[in-house]
Structure 1
Amino acid sequence: MTDMELLQRLGLALAIGLLVGLERGWHGRAEREGARVAGVRTFALVGLLGGVTGGLAPVSGAVLPGAALLAVSGLLAVSYWFTLRAEGDAGLTTEIAMLLVFVLGAASVLGEMAPTAAAGVLCALLLSLKSRLHGWVAHMGSGELSAVLKLALISVVGLQLMPDQGYGPGGVLNPYDLWWAVVVVAGLSFLGYVAIRLGGAKLGMLLTGLCGGLASSTSTTLALSRVVRAQPGLAPMAAAGILAAGAVAFLRVLALVAVFGPALLNQLTPPVGVMAAVALLATVALSLRARAGTEAAGQVEGIANPLELGAALGFGGVLAAVLLGVHYLRLWLGVEGVYAAAALSGLTDVDALTISVSRLVGRDLAAFHGAVAIFIAVSVNSVVKGAISFFAGSRALGLRVLPVYLLTIVAGGAMLALGAPAQP
């Protein structure tokens, strides 16, 4: 290691200490001088100490870093004891953060710089999110917490136990792949679900729609349509929320393809990306035209927890059925059979069809035909959501939503046609 590289690594150790110390100093800014356990200077010095001991490790071995870590831990233990006696504060956040800064300081010299720097930034970010994280936990219901823990356990343990080989006709049913798909889809859905449950309609229909697109754009459309049925004056903002959910759903399709069939991404991105862009532009236009301050009251109901075990297993069953359906229809009818399966799937669910087609591309299906199948599914699903806005909402809502979805289909179809392979 050259002197310049050592100086860079020591600079990183110092920077991590300064960053975390800045957050801790801001957090304790109301306390009197000398009352804080540690501030910017102390954290910076601890980070630099970790870097120096890491730099001396090639000479001293692990003895010096270990002794320094024990010394810092001992000082923190004494400080914590005095603070506990004086103030009764049992929090350990600052002490743990300081130990982490020391370790990251040593890792700055001994390990890779990029992961170490990322860990330092994440540490400061987590510390700054204290009130928000506590607020999220306070708003989380016991059922939601239980669902997260159950699926986390089943995912971490279950994925390791699932056999990674194909079963059934054509070997299309791979238990490992099926459960991995369940985990990915449920995780994306839960992000949107949590955002809706925590913010609800207080965030406004537009943000509810954006979050709902991750959870379920169809369920979000139905939920917002029901709000309009009860309060017709909310149709403009509800339309913006529905189209925002649709735009996010288009992007979600691309995210699933990137995970399960990257070979299809180049062919599918232009049409589906244009569909998302059209929906987003319409969302912005409708939002600007809507009356200022329009909000729904209360929570937007009608979106089920996607991490409930029954919902997760149900999606796995749907995915298995779609995989078998696509397999048999392709055998019986060729590519047209895949298109038929896509149209039927689009009536209810796009995720399962997207994953099954993505897995076929590169093996039994050309990328263009796979893109056409997914385009058919998202187009049918878009028409379904437009119809929901008409019949479950109101004519005013439907006339704002359905024409935009039809425009997205036309624009996406044009881009898909432009990318079609030349006929021999």
Structure 2
Amino acid sequence: MEIVEVFQRLGVALAIGLLVGCERGWQDRDVPSGGRTAGIRTFGLSGLLGGLAGYIQTLAGPMLPAVLLLLFGAAFVVFKLREAEADEDYGATTVVAAFVVFALGVTAVLGDVRAAAAGGVITTALLAAKRSLHGFLKQLTWLEIRAGLILLAMTLVALPLLPNETIDPWDALNPFALWLLTVTIAAISFAGYVAIRVAGPSRGILFAGAAGGLASSTALTLSFARFAAEAPESARQLASGATIAGALSLIRVLVIGAVMAPVLLIPLAIALVPAILVMLAASFLIVRRGNGKHGAPDLQLDNPFELGEVLRFGALLGVVIVVSKVLVDRIGQAMLFAVAAVSGLMDLDAITLSTARMTGASVDLATAVAAILIAVVVNLMTKVVLAFTAGGRGPYATTLTLATLAAIAAGAVAYFTLSSFVPAS
């Protein structure tokens, strides 16, 4: 190792310690000098000490670095214990952070500098997120934690045991791929579910709509419709939240389709991006005309990680995959349009995943794009029907209808105007 590289690696080790020390020092910024065990200087020196220990190992072997680690750890723990007794605060986070900084310093010299630097950033972010993480845990219930643990156990334990090949006569169902797709979609929905649970109504209707677009835009539209019937003065603001949720559901379709079959990205974007922009513009226009201060109602969403919910979606996805494959193979690609229309009444994810998997194999690009867009239109209009059914013919339903129709029109104009310029495959 040349001397220039040594200085570079030691500089990274020092920078890691200073970064973590900034966060620790800021947390204890009101403590008088000498009243805390470690701040920016101590953590900076800890990172540098780890780097020096790594460099010494290249010269003299591992014995001396191990002694340095033991002496460093013993001294740090003793001083932290004295501080804890004085403050009656027995948290061990700072001690653990010091050991992590030392280890990252060693890694910066002996291992991959990029991995060490990334570890420093992640460590600092975790330390800084104390309040957010604690607040997140306080909002979760035991049932939600248990559901997540069961699902993780089934995924990490059962997934590797599932056959990674089709097992049905139609060569459509791959248990490994099916479960992996199901869990992925549940994780995306869970992100929105957690955001709503943690933030609550205080963040407002637009935030709830955006998070609901990840969790379940249909459930959010229905919940907002019922609330609008009880609180007509908030109807238009609630419609703006439902419109945001609809826009996020379209973004979700675009991302899922593009990830599963990258060739779908441009054709889908031609139709969906204008529709998304129209819905977002309509939502913010509605908010701007109102006072924008309405709180969101308490949404009753099912936990997407609840085992029953996961199994139901997995069953739906499996049925859509098999039915699509069988009908396309036996009758023709046009049958995919009928499957998309029916599936769009219930869910967009299943038909998007199923169609994307067949794109380029049993279904050509144009047919796949048309099928997904049919499902999107059916799903958007289903939400309009739900708005009228649950919320009446008031401002909520009419505002959502106008925004939805404008979005569909914008998407249709863009699709029929520009799709001819997209390559056929």
| Residues in 2 aligned to 1:85 and 1:302: alpha-carbon distance in whole angstroms | 46
Compare 405-414 and 242-251 and name the one that shifted more: 405-414
Aligned partner of 1:215 in structure 2 is: 215
How far, CA to CA, are the matches of 1:200 and 1:43 in structure 2?
37
**Structure 1 residues 70, 193: CA separation in 2 closer, same or farther (over 3 Å shift)?**
same
Query: Quick one: distance in 2 between partners of 1:31 and 1:378?
Result: 57
| Structure 1 spans left out of the alignment, 5+ residues | none
Q: CA deviation at 1:232?
A: 0.5
* Structure 1 residue matching 2:334: 3-state secondary structure: helix
Q: Which residue of 2 aligns with 1:368?
A: 366
Structure 2 residue aligned with 1:241: 241
Residue in 2 aligned with 1:302?
A: 300
| Aligned-residue CA RMSD (Å) | 1.8
The CA deviation at 1:114 is 2.4
The CA distance in 2 between the partners of 1:191 and 1:260, in whole Å, is 20
Separation in 2, partners of 1:390, 1:105: 61
**CA deviation after TM superposition for structure 1 residue 125, in Å:** 1.1
- Paired AA for residue 389 in structure 1: A
- Specify the code of the residue in structure 1 equivalent to 2:336: V
- Superposed, 1:77-226 pairs within 5 Å as 77-226=77-226
Shift of 1:169: 3.3
Match of 1:328 in 2: 326
Structure 2 distance, partners of 1:270, 1:323, is 25
Deviation string, structure 1 residues 217-266 (Cα, Å, up to 9, x no partner): 00010011111010001012101100110111111112222433233223
Aligned 1:262-277 pairs, distance under 5 A: 262-277=262-277
Is 2:402 aligned against 1:398?
no
Cα shift readout 1:302-325 (whole Å, capped 9, x = no counterpart): 311111100001100000110111
Distance 2:5 2:272 in 1: 46
Output the CA distance in 2 between the equivalents of 1:68 and 1:270. Answer: 61
Mapped to 2, the partners of 1:237 and 1:169 lie a distance apart of: 51
Question: Residue 401 of structure 1 aligns to which amino acid in structure 2?
Answer: L
**TM-aligned CA deviation for residue 279 of structure 1:** 1.4
**Letter paired with 1:337:** M
Identity percentage of aligned residues: 39
C-alpha separation between the residues in 2 aligned to 1:276 and 1:157? 39
**2:345 corresponds to:** 347
Q: Deviations over 1:390-410 (max 9, x none)?
A: 221243112211122122222
Tell whether the 8 Å contact from 1:18 to 1:44 is kept in structure 2 after alignment: yes
Distance 1:64 1:364, change over 3 A: farther
Deviations 1:93-151 (A, max 9, x none): 00000111111111112222222222211111111111121111112111111111111
8 Å Cα contact 1:163-1:175 kept in structure 2: yes
Which is further off, 236-245 or 107-116?
Answer: 107-116
Structure 2 residue runs of 5 or longer lacking an equivalent are: none
- 2:189 maps to amino acid: S
The amino acid across from 1:372 in the alignment is A
CA shift in 2, pair 1:268/1:127, >3 Å? same
Cα contact 1:193–1:212 (8 A) shared by 2? yes
Does the CA-based 8 Å contact 1:224-1:300 persist in structure 2?
no
How far apart are 1:200 and its partner, in Å? 2.3
What TM-score do you get using the length of structure 1 for normalisation? 0.94
Conservation of the 8 A alpha-carbon contact between 2:334 and 2:367: no
Contact 1:222 1:302 in 2 (8 A): no
CA contact (8 A) 2:49 2:102 kept: yes
Tell me how far apart the structure 1 counterparts of residues 173 and 360 of structure 2 sit (CA, whole Å): 17
Task: Count residues with an aligned counterpart.
Answer: 421
Q: Name the stretch that deviates more: 219-228 or 265-274.
A: 265-274
User: Which letter maps to 2:147?
Assistant: A
In 1, the alpha carbon distance for the partners of 2:354 and 2:145 equals 30
Q: Is the alpha carbon distance of 1:66 and 1:366 closer, same or farther for their aligned partners in structure 2, counting shifts above 3 Å?
A: farther
Query: Are the counterparts in 2 of residues 169 and 324 from structure 1 also a CA contact under 8 Å?
Result: no
| Pairwise CA distance, 1:84 | 4.3
The alpha carbon displacement at 1:333 in A equals 3.1
Do the aligned partners of residues 344 and 83 (structure 1) sit closer, same or farther apart at CA in structure 2, a change above 3 Å counting? same
1:53 to partner: Cα distance? 2.1
> Which moved further from structure 2: 6-15 or 219-228?
6-15
d(CA) in 1 for partners of 2:387 and 2:350? 23
- The aligned amino acid for 1:176 is F
Shift of 1:422: 7.3
User: Given that residues 189 and 216 in structure 2 are in contact (C-alpha distance below 8 angstroms), is that contact kept between their aligned partners in structure 1?
Assistant: yes
Task: Give the distance between the partners of 1:375 and 1:287, measured in 2 at CA.
Answer: 28
Task: Answer with 406-415 or 213-222: which moved more.
Answer: 406-415
TM-score (norm 2): 0.94
